[in-house]
Chains A and B, each alone.
Chain A
């Protein structure tokens, strides 16, 4: 009998082990203590650690592709100059968001963390007023492009520093020589785009390189939702005030249906579910694929993958889903934030100051193909003719949902999972739209958004 009691206790202990991780030693009521003004933490713990740089190592976590080789080179120079070491922690993009939010929510984040800017999501998702350091008074803050600064500010304070060129947008990058050889013209609507894909496919070339396995890239196609904004300019505001839904919107239904159709017609080839974003330049360089949704730095990256492929052999046209012909602009992008719980705040500030210096911005622009114009007044411009032609061709600029619609950006990876299910035939476009409404409602409810009450 005693053995049975012991056995039952053992099984209980196994089960308790499962739950142990779910508890928290501090009650939620204690949270305000952690949310005490970041400024209080700004000075005290950092003052003694960052002065000379002796034995100080700052940690910087970011998603794959957010920290360029050029930045790591600059990091070495920063260490030489200040003695402060930088530990870069690069996380696969499909896992980054969960990991980052877990670390922030657990109060154990790195000194600097990378996060997507957006005036909405930096508040609802990162809660920057609690979790990030106010950078408004930093020497470089005044140089940040006002449009980018808006997306990094909350309550009139600047909390982040842009990492990437936000003038670039997700557009269809194509092999110019191949288009010329096949007599193809830049499509101006979805039907023409399908014609182009059919002709390329007929040549035994896969029209579009898509990489669903990363979890985020295929969601970039939804930036064609600017078509919904064009059809009804008040639509984003209605979404933000919970007066409209994604479900039932004509343009959005069309957009997802066309995306599914592209996959079903074989325009993305057989391996789009397992392709990886990092292989896109090499895949275009090899000639196996003709187009990819990319920012305006693909030419340089393809050239780096294969020096015989000229950099200016890559052209761009806007995402043609929903017959869109507007430039999908987004002043949001990966940015650096200093974690308010960091013990190396001053050292982290020095790193940000170093990265925003004239020399560093020039170095980054020169050495990172996709950086044409970093969003700082002291950054040089390096638009190539091909890129300038692209921007000139589409004078109509419309903000993407990532920037204009609340709770869209935080749901990005979940939308990616839904779209992946749509490609596999597990969900319909209508169900994906319905789920986006649900995901947004969950975020809004958690944030106690009055519009959702």
Chain B
């Protein structure tokens, strides 16, 4: 590009200052607080070194499980939302009747409030009177009726399933846009060459939809690592000690009980994890792009 046509660097200064003051600086201060005994019970602040990090990594605590839960939630929901979203996108780019109605129905959960969805599903998944178990019993599948949100084996899976149901329509919509941008010329040429449906998907659709999939993956990973409202509304981290606890519900509770320092230490640990995840994701995404 002609250098004289580039905007000067100071044009970005406004945005950079706002970003630095409102995001970067509080973030760094947050990391700083994780080395103190900051709490709601005392106005005094003391440096305690790595004490809070020792607590976070202690085998007596549940924090490692909470971090694992967060990463597991992110992995499972990202993979399944992408896979199911792609299948739905492929189906809903065909010539079928009431196409927009189908798309609208799948997309609709994404525009509903997560808290409302959580409360509705809490009722739907009630083991005794919930709609889901009642339906299973009414069609003779009573043996499949479970304690979806109050059993330690099923609760986390149920939370993830509801979240996937909520988010898959959004991912599908992005992927539909990606699919529609692929020129039909490729498919026509492939048909002339005798390619079957799977081969068209494998050698045309999939490579060309990859950049869009990379975008949806980033969106899902960011959402998954920051998930709060869905878990909060469905189980509030329970049943039991930390069955479905994720990072932000734990930080919220720590702040609620006034133990700010441990809360910030927990966030700092997640900060490091996010840097690694972020760099790794960006590297994969930009691997095949041409460098300037």
Contacts and interface: CB of A to CB of B under 8 A. Distances in A.
Report whether chain A binds chain B.
yes
Interface of A: 1-4, 7-8, 10-25, 28-29, 31-32, 35, 94-95, 97-102, 104-105, 124-125, 127, 212-213, 215, 270-271, 273-275, 410, 417-418, 420-421, 424, 426-427, 438, 442-443, 446-448
**Size bracket of the B interface:** 35 or more
B279 A8 contact: yes
B256 A22 contact: no
Interface in B115-141: 126-128
Given A274-B150, A426-B241, 15 more contacts: A3-B292, A4-B286, A11-B278, A11-B279, A14-B222, A20-B23, A22-B26, A22-B33, A23-B28, A23-B33, A101-B258, A417-B241, A442-B259, A443-B257, A446-B42
B27 A20 contact: yes
B150 A213 contact: yes
Given A18-B274, A22-B251, A97-B256, A417 B30 contact: no
A8 to B, nearest CB: 6
19 contacts: A7-B282, A8-B282, A10-B278, A17-B23, A18-B271, A19-B28, A22-B263, A23-B26, A23-B33, A28-B36, A35-B43, A94-B236, A98-B256, A124-B41, A213-B239, A215-B238, A270-B127, A274-B126, A443-B257
Given A127-B40, A271-B127, A23 B25 contact: yes
A212 B29 contact: no
Contacts of B165: none
A427 B241 contact: yes
Contacts of B41: 124, 127, 443, 446-448
Contacts of A19: 26-28, 30-31, 267-268, 271
B205 to A, nearest CB: 26
Contacts of A125: 258
Nearest to B280: A11
A18 B223 CA distance: 11
B30 A15 contact: no
B239 A2 contact: no
Nearest to A411: B257
Q: Which of B147, B151, B256, B259 has the most CB of A within 10 A?
A: B256
Contact of B30 (A22, A105, A275, A446): A22
A122 to B, nearest CB: 13
Interface in B261-290: 263-264, 267-268, 270-271, 274-275, 277-279, 281-283, 285-286, 289
Interface in B202-227: 222, 225-226
Contacts of B270: 18
Q: Which of B27, B253, B268, B271 has the most CB of A within 10 A?
A: B27
Interface string B34-46: 0011111111010
Nearest to A10: B282
Contacts, number: 183
Contacts of B201: none
B132 to A, nearest CB: 13
Interface in B140-181: 147, 149-152
A124 B43 CA distance: 13
A275 B129 CA distance: 10
B22 interface: yes
B42 to A, nearest CB: 6
A17 B31 CA distance: 13
A427 B289 CA distance: 52
B232 A95 contact: yes
A15 B274 contact: yes
A8 B29 CA distance: 21
Which 7 A/B pairs are nearest by Cβ-Cβ distance?
Answer: A11-B278, A23-B26, A98-B256, A22-B30, A19-B27, A421-B240, A7-B282
A20 B26 contact: yes
Contacts of A1: 291
B24 interface: yes
B152 A102 contact: no
A273 B126 CA distance: 10
Given A7-B283, A421-B240, A424-B152, A101 B256 contact: yes
B291 A28 contact: no
B240 to A, nearest CB: 4
Contact of A25 (B26, B253, B281): B26
Contact of B240 (A23, A32, A94, A424): A424
Q: Which of B38, B60, B222, B241 has the most CB of A within 10 A?
A: B241
Nearest to A34: B43
Contacts of B274: 11, 14-15, 18
Given A18-B271, A274-B127, A215 B282 contact: no
A95 B33 contact: no
A18 B281 contact: no
Nearest to B281: A11
B9 to A, nearest CB: 13
Contacts of A426: 152, 240-241
A95 B118 CA distance: 14
B214 to A, nearest CB: 12
Nearest to B20: A16
Nearest to A25: B26
A417 B238 contact: yes
A410 B152 contact: no
A54 B50 CA distance: 53
B152 to A, nearest CB: 5
Contacts of B253: 98
A14 B274 CA distance: 8
Given A11-B275, A420-B238, A22 B259 contact: no
Nearest to A30: B43
Given A13-B23, A18-B271, A22-B27, A446 B259 contact: yes
Contacts of A25: 26
Given A7-B282, A8-B282, A16 B27 contact: yes
